[in-house]
Amino acid sequence: MDGKRTTPPHPNPNPSSAALQAGAAAAAAESSKARMLAFHFLRALSRIHRVTPVRRRTRTIRRAAYSSMARAAGPRRAWSRALLGQARARRARRAVLVRRRVLTAAAPAPAAGGGGGRFIAAGGETSAAAAAAASRVLPPRQAGEPPRADALRRLVPGGDAMEYCSLLDETADYLRSLRAQVQLMQGLVDLFSCQ
Amino acid sequence: MAHDGFLGGSFHQLAWPLDAALQAQPHAEMGAGVGVGVAGGGWEHEAGERIESALSSLVSPSLAVAGGVHEAALMDELASRLGGVCGGLGGGVAASPPSSRYASCYSTPVSSPGKSALPVSSLVAADTMVAERATRLSGLAVGGPGGRKLSRVESSQSLLGEPAAMAALAGDVLLPASDGASRDAPSRKRKAPGAKTKVKDGTAATAIAKSPEPGTRAKRCKLSPDAARDDEQQNQATGEAGHDGGSAKGKDAASEPPKDYIHVRARRGQATDSHSLAERVRREKISERMKLLQDLVPGCNKVTGKAVMLDEIINYVQSLQRQVEFLSMKLSAVNPRLDFDVDDFLPKDVILIHLSIMNTMKKATTFDTHIKSCAVFSSVRLNFQQASEPSVPAPPPPPPPSCSMERPSPAICYRSSQGTAMQSVVSSPVPSLDGFHISGNSQAGSIWEDDLQSVVLMGLFRCNQHMIG
């Protein structure tokens, strides 16, 4: 993890088990970014398990993972901004749909109208997405960029609008965060499946 | 050429080493050329042999083509400095274009005896030896053009005295090449590191293409004694311009001032317009980033070349994303009784502590000890009377903690303890902590370090209870 490393916590006055202190020390050795990651993700996870029906959980958990990753990374990074922007757009789209559904339910409009509203909203979102996708076709502004960089742009969120040099930088940070996220999730899976 | 008069042009009659014998190994050629050149001044045959063996011992064979050609170019420069001593290089490395230039100048082959049998056996770069010899040689090199007054005999004898001086320089230049993946200061564009960068690029062609002129190599020769030092420095220095500049260019007249932006010096023979300069800077930055990525991606140390690296990076990112997907699938299927109310906790060490505890303690033994510790903590903090679980023999509650609790925290703890029935299912609503909002940042949590650790652990304890039961 990059950045801030906190000092080890003050000595625990309680003669608690060594495991606890070891755990505390280990936790303190991690950066605050890892803590933020764990916090956000766990919170989202608990909420998801409470709220979401089973069939859509995987997708939601995955999106929650990326969102927590982005939030832990902070707004300083282009990829985190892009991820959070995607999440926001998705939420807005769903809010629009829900609103339309509510409206159509409240006012007995014909189903076509409700469906049309949904399609319109979806169309608006998809057109925005299409515009974003079309902008990806913008030619690489640098000559020294290898052709494979296109695939990398697709992988890294927000990679379309970046120069090759900053793309590599963002990729490095994205990789670090991804690895932390995978470690966290793996730990959780181990934790919850150990019964 | 100017250096013709340096040694009286007698080198024209030098017999260049047998090109045919040396074609196979560029390094050998170069070494041979150097040795021959050095020895070609009418020196003893034994001296020449000694020189060659010393050279061969210094030149690494691993950098066969790339280094060889580059070294030939560098030797070019040495030739100009030492007045044709390096000319043998040009004659020796007949394959490389720059040397052909020298070959044209020194048309007559050297008829030095027995130079064909170059014992270029095992070539090892001896760093310290090279460094000191490079120092001596650079002294010679510096004195070379300036001190044209040096008689032929003097120069040749001094060179004889430094049998491996030439090789030292060659080896020195090879040093950065042999460093391989070591990274020099990326933001610094100096001539010596420029040479090293090019060598690290691994393509001699580009190196040669970028530095075709002897003039620039002249400056690089001067920097050669610093080059060895530069290496170690640049290996650590990433953007430390001033530091490198001060130390490396100590004796160089063209020292760049310490800076906070990138100084780029155009090499002689290169386009000096802003575009190419910026291009070069950009390429430096890109290679620096690629180095960083190489450290991040596991198993990429052996991979060289930007295309393969990029493929590796893409594969790694894809695999990580696939892992996230897979793990989220597993998490969705996993025990949904993850009901502990994380909203009550602050984003501090607490959760990670818990997780790390769980992770460090292996699955077989985890829960009992963990719950014990949780029980200890919770009982201590919250004056839990029912800390002793029927299932878990809790140790006697330790003495109350010495740390002071904040004013709201007892209320919080108490409230949370109220809603807690340790044996009950966690699905009972956790009491809402009204005055306690999750700020989402860790600043507010700094106050609550102890107390909320206890709260969290207690809460997670409940969760564990629930998960167990």
Q: What is the pLDDT of residue B425?
A: 38
Higher pLDDT, B248 or A141: A141
Over residues B18-61, the pLDDT tens digits come to 444 444 444 444 444 443 444 444 444 444 455 445 445 544 44
Closest-CA distance, B391 to chain A, in angstroms, reads 16
Closest by CA to B350, choosing from B467, B242, B451, B264, is B451
On whether any CB of chain B is under 8 Å from the CB of A10, the answer is: yes
Q: What is the pLDDT of residue A102?
A: 86
Portion of chain A with pLDDT greater than 70, in percent:
65
Q: What is the pLDDT of residue B321?
A: 92
Closest residue in B to A177 (Cα) is: B320
Q: What is the pLDDT of residue A161?
A: 80
Say if A120 falls within a structural domain.
no
Q: What is the pLDDT of residue B458?
A: 52
Q: Is B412 exposed, middle or buried (0-12, 13-18, 19+ CB in 10 A)?
A: buried
CA atoms within 13 A on the CB side of B347: 23
Ramachandran area for residue A74 (φ above 0: left; ψ -120 to 50: alpha; else beta): left
Comparing CB atoms, the residue among B332, B356, B403 nearest residue A13 is B403
- DSSP codes, B236-253: H-SS-HHHHHHHHTTT-T
Please name every residue paired with B300 in a beta bridge, in sequence order, or none if there are none: none
Q: What is the pLDDT of residue A119?
A: 52
> Which of A31, A35, A173 to probe by mutation at the B interface, max B CB count within 10 Å?
A35
Say if A14 falls within a structural domain.
no
Over residues A47-104, the pLDDT tens digits come to 887 777 777 778 888 888 888 888 888 888 888 888 888 888 988 998 888 888 888 8
Say if A155 falls within a structural domain.
yes
Residues 33-72 of A with CB under 8 A from B: 34-36, 38-40, 42-43, 45-46, 48-50, 54, 57-58, 60-62, 65-66
Say if A12 falls within a structural domain.
no
Residues of B in contact with A43 (CB under 8 A): 342-343, 438
Position A42 pLDDT exceeds 70: yes
- Reported as type and span, the H/E element at residue B450 is helix B449-468
Q: What is the pLDDT of residue B319?
A: 93
Q: What is the pLDDT of residue B126?
A: 45
Higher pLDDT, B41 or A189: A189
Give the C-alpha separation, B69 to B42, whole Å.
27
Could you tell me the residue range of the domain that residue A40 belongs to? 29-107+147-193
User: How confident is the prediction along chain B (469 residues), in pLDDT tens digits per residue?
Assistant: 445 454 444 445 544 544 444 444 444 444 444 434 444 444 444 444 554 454 455 444 444 444 444 555 545 554 455 554 444 444 444 444 444 444 444 444 444 444 444 444 444 444 455 445 545 545 444 444 444 444 454 444 444 444 444 444 444 444 444 444 444 444 444 444 444 444 444 444 444 444 444 444 444 444 444 444 444 444 444 444 444 434 444 444 444 455 566 666 666 776 778 888 888 888 888 888 888 888 888 887 776 777 788 888 888 999 999 999 998 888 887 665 555 554 555 545 455 545 554 554 444 444 444 444 444 334 433 333 343 334 444 444 444 444 444 444 433 333 444 444 343 433 344 344 344 333 334 444 444 445 544 544 455 545 555 555 4
- C-alpha distances out from residue B329 to A41, A59, B317, B323, B332, Å: 15, 8, 18, 10, 5
Q: What is the pLDDT of residue A103?
A: 85
Position A43 pLDDT exceeds 70: yes
Which of A9-13, A30-34, B1-5, B71-75 is modeled with the greatest confidence? A30-34
Residues 352-381 of B with CB under 8 A from A: 352-361, 363, 366-367, 369-370, 372-373, 376-377, 380
Residues of B in contact with A17 (CB under 8 A): 369, 372-373, 376
Number of domains in chain A: 1
Say if A153 falls within a structural domain.
yes
Q: Is A93 exposed, middle or buried (0-12, 13-18, 19+ CB in 10 A)?
A: middle
pTM of the model: 0.42
Over residues B263-285, the pLDDT tens digits come to 666 667 767 788 888 888 888 88
- DSSP codes, A73-142: H-TTSHHHHHHHHHHHHHHHHHHHHHHHHHHHHHTT--HHHHHHHHHHHHHHHHHHHHHHHHHTTSPPS-
Say if A132 falls within a structural domain.
no
- C-alpha distances out from residue B302 to A65, A171, B291, B294, B305, Å: 32, 20, 12, 9, 10
Say if A62 falls within a structural domain.
yes
Say if A19 falls within a structural domain.
no
